[in-house]
Structure 1
């Protein structure tokens, strides 16, 4: 059984192009299409997709609001933003809303498939431009905080969990690796984000890698 994908975009040609290519992939199953965020929320509830490809600028409800609401109700559904915008005003709000990936519409088809599979496996997959914008945002938000002091706020176990996050592992995988429950992992992740003043695990991973906290 393939990865169940829901397409969300208000441009018919984009939907047609995505449908045409993804339908050729034996391990991807297209389960539906929506033309705005409100429809996307309803279809996620009805169709139970594994991954949603989400446009940002749409009528009725935009992709950021839809992403936020879907993640609040169904945290296990993975969302990849697929848009034409790579500026910080779009990238950061989308990731803060809970997006698991961020790609531009000029992405090569094979790369899009890789992104879908990576996000479905629990990894964060960002276009290089999105990563740059996220780094800029993190730099701006934490420029007055010493890297060493930030890292030393964390307990030994929180550092273990953060390291696992930088490897792209999800809560279930971290639980197995560290021999702790998923609930405990969630608590550690929440504590890490609170201490570092960040919104999500993607930012935590980026700032850890940027500051080389786990460099061998």
Structure 2
């Protein structure tokens, strides 16, 4: 084998190793998974409120373990991935439906956190709360690559169930919303802006990453 053939062989191996289409689920299966995952139900909203209270307690106590537990049970990411599917497929009714559902989840989350922090005897912001008020470039990287990992895991034939929990922890959608609730309950508007911005950064770059992968998978467009 000459050098040129060897280089071509290496390129083929790398192409196969990193191909997103090799073990990709069918387009119908991807659509079903993502849209089902974004459906808002009474059960999902109850779980979301529980997750917000747990995360708020964790932030109030500066307990990283409790915060991680809350992020693991939060159903909020499903709406972002479903919205990305609606955007890439030009299915605007789906996009509007899941964006409105996402907005409702945000409103309920912030309301639950606000009520908790209004009733909480601990009024001083903890280190964990303050950490959610200063977004950085690293937060963008974490959200983007976390979103890539999440959508890749969701679009495989053998869906990798361990990916989404890991992405939920890494991208940390819940703590900034809890911090927004703390800010409203205690009149800390300076913290509200930082926490809200961090949440929007996380949500947007997860959405963007999902759109990129779904485009590469050539998701069919609605006519």
Structure 2 length-normalised TM: 0.32
Structure 1 length-normalised TM: 0.33
Greater relative CO (CA pairs within 8 A, separation 6+)? 2
Rg comparison, structure with higher value: 2
If each structure's helix is expressed as a fraction of its own residues, which one has the higher value? Answer: 2
